[in-house]
């Protein structure tokens, strides 16, 4: 791996760690999640990076893909289990990292189980290893603590301007015959739940990404699509970012762009049995046979 490329991966990880910990520190009773997200975004830019996706602030039964909507007034309450899932982009070199916190409560066994699963993976992960070995460790750690892994969420490979590519790292036992890459970056993200261990789509959608450019009749739609392509490439972005820049009419344009196949939607994911969910995640850099946890 070239030195410049490695340095950008490492800086993306450093920023990711910083904004993750900032988000966790702000999870207090009465805190507005919009304020937390905007603080994370501000710090990301201050550190010379950009968000690799909108800050996910997912609460209790919500497992992933919730970012505050435009004007969101949702506040955190005591004992909410909050997942702070964030990432940074340095010239398209990305990080992806997450931590969970129980608001106003430092001791939560579900959170401990998810954290322990990631810590166990960090001790054994190596370039080219079988993904099934990682999956078994995650499942065993979570089930021994009395909880269930979420079977249809998992880790993934990361590329330049590509948040999910290549290998899928399941949180449950499998015989998929998949191996980790020998060079590059992967993210491992154990999810533990008090439910049965399966997430489903909700109707809420606050995150989108570009699929491809399309012919658009509306002048505002063309302007928005051009901005998305130049600003985010194919990385996920928040509806509120576009509404903040272009005004409330942009919300209708985003619906139209989705309808013609220009944009992809990310439904908010909810545990099917309404179980509580905890998550932890690190990005791992493989280079010359070595492993660096970039977000540690």
256-277 pLDDT per residue, tens: 999 999 999 999 999 999 999 9
Mean of the pLDDT values across residues 215-222? 94
Which pLDDT value is given to residue 152? 97
Does 237 score more than 90 pLDDT?
A: yes
Is 233 an annotated catalytic residue? no
> Which residues are CB-neighbours of 273 under 8 A, at least 6 positions away?
195, 196, 198
Which pLDDT value is given to residue 176? 85
Is 21 an annotated catalytic residue? no
Does 76 score more than 90 pLDDT?
A: yes
Catalytic residue among 18, 41, 80, 96: 96
Architecture of domain 3-197+272-293: Alpha-Beta Complex (3.90)
Mean of the pLDDT values across residues 204-232? 96
Does 133 score more than 90 pLDDT?
A: yes
Which pLDDT value is given to residue 106? 82
Which pLDDT value is given to residue 107? 85
Mean of the pLDDT values across residues 111-137? 98
Is 96 an annotated catalytic residue? yes
Is 281 an annotated catalytic residue? yes
Domain boundaries, the chain: 3-197+272-293, 202-268
Q: What is the pLDDT of residues 2-12, one digit of tens each?
A: 999 999 999 99
Catalytic residue among 18, 41, 80, 189: 189
Q: What is the pTM of this model?
A: 0.96
Does 181 score more than 90 pLDDT?
A: yes
Is 119 an annotated catalytic residue? no
Which pLDDT value is given to residue 282? 98
Does 160 score more than 90 pLDDT?
A: yes
Percent of the chain whose predicted confidence (pLDDT) is above 70? 100
Is 164 an annotated catalytic residue? yes
Architecture of domain 202-268: Orthogonal Bundle (1.10)
Does 90 score more than 90 pLDDT?
A: yes
Does 62 score more than 90 pLDDT?
A: yes
HEC per residue, the chain: CCHHHHHHHHHHHHHHHHHHHHHHHCCCCCCEHHHHHHHHHHHHHHCCCEECCCCEEEECCEEECCCCCCCCCCECCCCCEEEEEECEEECCEECCEEEEEECCECCCHHHHHHHHHHHHHHHHCCCCCEHHHHHHHHHHHHHHCCCEECCCCEEEEEECCEEEEEEEEECCCCCCCCECCCCEEEEECCEEECCCCCEEEEEEEEEEEECCCCCCCCHHHHHHHHHHHHHHCCCCEEHHHHHHHHCCHHHHHHHHHHHCCCEEEEEEEEECCCCCEEECEEEEEEECCEEEECCC
Catalytic residue among 38, 72, 164, 223: 164
Which pLDDT value is given to residue 225? 97
């Amino acid at each position: 791996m070239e030195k410049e490329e490695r340095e950008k991966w490492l800086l993306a990880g450093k920023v990711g760690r910083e904004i993750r910990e900032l988000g966790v520190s702000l999870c207090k009773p009465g805190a507005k999640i919009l304020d937390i997200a905007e603080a994370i975004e501000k710090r990301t830019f201050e550190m010379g990076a950009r968000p690799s996706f909108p800050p996910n602030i997912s609460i209790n039964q919500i497992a992933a893909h919730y970012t505050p909507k435009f004007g969101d007034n949702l506040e955190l309450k005591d004992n909410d289990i909050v997942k702070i899932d964030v990432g940074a982009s340095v010239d398209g070199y990305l990080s992806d990292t997450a931590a969970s916190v129980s608001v106003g409560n430092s001791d939560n066994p579900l959170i401990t189980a998810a954290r322990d699963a990631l810590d166990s993976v960090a001790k054994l992960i190596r370039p080219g290893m079988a993904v099934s070995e990682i999956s078994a460790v995650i499942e065993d750690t979570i089930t021994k603590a009395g909880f269930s892994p979420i079977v249809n969420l998992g880790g993934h490979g990361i590329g330049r301007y590509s948040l999910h590519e290549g290998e899928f790292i399941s949180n449950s036992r499998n015989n998929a015959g998949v191996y980790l890459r020998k060079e590059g970056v992967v993210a491992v993200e154990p999810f533990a739940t008090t439910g049965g261990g399966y997430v489903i789509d909700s109707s809420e959608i606050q995150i989108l990404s570009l699929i491809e450019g399309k012919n658009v009749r509306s002048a505002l739609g063309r302007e928005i699509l051009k901005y998305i392509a130049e600003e985010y490439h194919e990385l996920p972005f928040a509806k509120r970012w576009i509404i903040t820049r272009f005004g409330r009419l942009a919300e209708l344009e985003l619906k139209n762009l989705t309808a013609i196949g220009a944009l992809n939607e990310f439904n908010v994911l909810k545990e099917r049995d309404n179980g509580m969910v905890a998550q932890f995640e690190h990005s791992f850099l493989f280079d010359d046979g070595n492993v660096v946890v970039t977000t540690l």
